Structure 1
């Protein structure tokens, strides 16, 4: 290999498999080729590195085609005892050098990543030994003085400190919630109790988040064991729920759960306690490896793609002095953190648990983990029979704008939190039209039972918001029903309605009550929140449709133009393009020109001449008023002639349907808790602020309604700042191989 040869990158997966690993491998290969590097896959993890031969293979662009939707890892993973020995690592170094590889992207858990770092530190000595043994010549040794590495965490447990999410965790949560939803329906039919065991030896993430998203009654996690006498407290909570009308009871147990003395808590023990103390028919379900399997979620596809892209940037720019980095995600942004610092902190959590220092273990897990644990406790312990004060304050919940999956979990959480604080909760049916018509009713603990898993909107919603002429009627309704605070759940129209009410306070004193907007829109186009409730569910629906479209297209040479919702906001189009493997995404934010279309036609024709069978274009519904989906299809079909077929797919309202994803359920619960706290704090202080709430850089943030005007583009109904637009170059790198260098033969 000459000095002018491209840099060579190796990629391997190691440890337990996790959904999304294939997306990361695809991203590493295509990004490397796009940036002019040669990329090799190391098959069967470290074992393949030790074995060498055809287990280290050059990768072409098409080698990683059609793998985004596949679970597991196509390049395999295996435990390797030989790599733990220095002799094995020396053979691995020799095999890499024979292929000219001195840059590695490792996708695995803490053991795999720490093994890679040890290999990196030994590399200079290993190379020297290989030279001394005449296995490589001096020139070859000088060309490979150091090993540069970057680590991605593949682990469904989400147990690595330094990243908010690990590859596979979201998909595992999907599997668990599918199971809990199914269990809940059969449990309710027979009025049974179920104990569900999920994975998580030292990490309670899956258990805690599935308990919140599944609306379960009790959860046991390793980081925060229950206090002495927990058995009776658990039974009391389940007993109260049954008394309030609940027909099923579900307890979630992490496989590493134990009590404060360190004694394991098994599912069978929990079952025995429930049967003996409650006299209930109780069943145990151990989910096991189904949590690792299946199609990766949309999040695991696009997140893993971003991680793989960044890992290639990292190793290509690294020098022998560069400290190895873990590439993770923090607040929806890619984050580089010193690799071994993350590994050590992760192992420290397990050590703190073993030493029964649970406060420190929770601290190391992070603030959001602790916050969600407290939210679950508050939800689980919210009494269904709170005695209200003599004159309870009345909080109303109303929907406005388009439907978003996750509205029902938000209402359920708000009602449970509000009732627990001694407030009366009112549900307004039919949005603002229902408010004017007086379709308002008190909501009890049992009224919202089971709403966590429900799609749609049980209270109903409408895009019709009060006109100037209707403001008086709205004010009278607020007065007549003695509404002291207002929670408005919805999208753009909900925010516009709240802003109008706030702006008209001087004319209508009835509007001088605390009010807050909770973001719920699949368009993800409201200010003050990087993610809205419903958007994750919509992207999963789009990606599921894309998977089916791509399967249908593989039988013929076909181009598909898929239109997504979003109005003037391209979030759904871009993120589904990343997760679905689109060749091109058209956004209103970027616009569409005839030059763009001409370039795409030329690329499309060239691709099909080279053997392509499918070409996928995604178009935001309002990307351009003239270059419509039909226009694009007609253009592509005319230019393609007999080379390929063209079809369109306008996905429409399937994007608003379906049960909410685990993420949307969790976000809805989290934001609803903060909304109720805001309204109660306002009432207790005697203030009447108007606000909107959201998730900004991972933190729940409250903005005054008075700031809304300065944060939005009123013409195009979207925030002025949209974080996700920074991801556009990744779509290009995944779709276009221009400038790519095919991996040359071994030297």
Structure 2
């Protein structure tokens, strides 16, 4: 193997550029030629592929987003689209591909793997919801972005003696809400993995008011319900006037934290090493601060679990 490709797909996450940089420079260090696929699987189908040099990835380690861009591709979900992608790779004699992204990106790589093409996946998603790894690229940065916003909103909540509802990302996974809620001192945290009772929220608010508490922060993951819907339910239950902040895509952007830069660098380099070893159909991850790799199919087993102790601790500390 002398030529490899790298692409980013799905939602962008801070640290993707650090991973791209690691793939390119690690590969060139081992005398590989490296090709960047622009625009994810859509770019792979159309052949939007360019050779990358050492300077191609200079001064990108600190930048959010992805210099290779990202796009959705319904065509790639078809047999015909996948075959077109493989033909583009063969045209340039690219023998292995590093795919950086989340669940959808992994499924695309699995499709190529099933057709005999060598792929290694790197977990890049702010949701931290990839099986087989404790952390994904971008989660730590998104978490710190949310915490910064929570701290600022709390200042206003205190000044105006109000209850604020902060809606964060997390359609199927609640790690952003869970970790930011604990770190930001939220009184209530709602995550998709756990049912909630509006009466419990009301009781906690009343308990706080009884001891003289004049403001509260509620963090809700978007997969539970919208912040606006939760505010309406609280209004109906308590006549409490709340304010809602939806953080939205601000959570995806920004310069990656040192943790995400280091994690991405380790992941990207390890992905190249696996290709050097002649392996494919693997995913890289981290457990107990040690790099691991595992069969790509295991990434779809959904063994991601949230830490119940964090919910318990948050409730104990926010009385």
| Shared fold per TM-score greater than 0.5 | yes
Gaps of 5+ in 1: 1-5, 124-146, 258-264, 347-363, 383-747
Tell me which residue corresponds to 2:129.
159
**Is 1:342 the equivalent of 2:305?**
no
Q: Deviations over 1:3-59 (max 9, x none)?
A: xxx61110000011111100000000000011121111111111111111xx21111
Gaps of 5+ in 2: none
Tell me which residue corresponds to 1:202.
172
- Distance in structure 2 (CA, Å) of the matches to 1:217 and 1:332: 31
Tell me which residue corresponds to 1:35.
30
Distance 1:219 1:116, change over 3 A: same
Tell me which residue corresponds to 1:247.
214
- Distance in structure 1 (CA, Å) of the matches to 2:234 and 2:91: 61
1:371 positional shift: 2.4
Contact preservation (8 Å) 1:164, 1:330: yes
- Distance in structure 1 (CA, Å) of the matches to 2:27 and 2:280: 20
- Distance in structure 2 (CA, Å) of the matches to 1:244 and 1:337: 51
Q: Deviations over 1:168-204 (max 9, x none)?
A: 1111111111111110000100001111111111101
**Is 1:87 the equivalent of 2:54?**
no
- Distance in structure 1 (CA, Å) of the matches to 2:257 and 2:239: 39
Deviates further, 81-90 or 210-219: 81-90
- Distance in structure 2 (CA, Å) of the matches to 1:150 and 1:245: 55
1:365 to 299, 304, 317: 304
**Is 1:190 the equivalent of 2:157?**
no
SS of corresponding position for 1:252: strand
1:247 positional shift: 3.2
1:238 positional shift: 1.7
- Give 1:693-712 correspondences, 5 Å limit: none
SS of corresponding position for 2:307: helix
Q: Deviations over 1:598-624 (max 9, x none)?
A: xxxxxxxxxxxxxxxxxxxxxxxxxxx
1:266 positional shift: 3.4
Contact preservation (8 Å) 2:274, 2:280: no
SS of corresponding position for 1:375: helix
Contact preservation (8 Å) 1:107, 1:151: yes
- Distance in structure 2 (CA, Å) of the matches to 1:29 and 1:200: 31
Contact preservation (8 Å) 2:187, 2:315: no
- Distance in structure 2 (CA, Å) of the matches to 1:48 and 1:170: 28
- So what's the TM-score if we normalise by structure 2? 0.95
Aligned length: 319
Higher RCO (CA 8 Å, separation ≥ 6 residues): 2
Q: Deviations over 1:424-471 (max 9, x none)?
A: xxxxxxxxxxxxxxxxxxxxxxxxxxxxxxxxxxxxxxxxxxxxxxxx
- Distance in structure 1 (CA, Å) of the matches to 2:37 and 2:280: 23
Tell me which residue corresponds to 1:481.
none
Tell me which residue corresponds to 1:57.
50
- Distance in structure 1 (CA, Å) of the matches to 2:9 and 2:247: 23
**Is 1:105 the equivalent of 2:43?**
no
- Distance in structure 1 (CA, Å) of the matches to 2:243 and 2:266: 41
1:240 positional shift: 2.1
SS of corresponding position for 1:22: helix
Compute the RMSD of aligned alpha carbons: 1.6
- Distance in structure 1 (CA, Å) of the matches to 2:280 and 2:11: 26
SS of corresponding position for 1:365: coil
- Give 1:641-680 correspondences, 5 Å limit: none
Distance 1:90 1:365, change over 3 A: closer
1:277 positional shift: 4.4
2:107 to 111, 114, 119: 114
Contact preservation (8 Å) 2:189, 2:311: no
Contact preservation (8 Å) 1:189, 1:247: no
2:39 to 29, 44, 50: 44
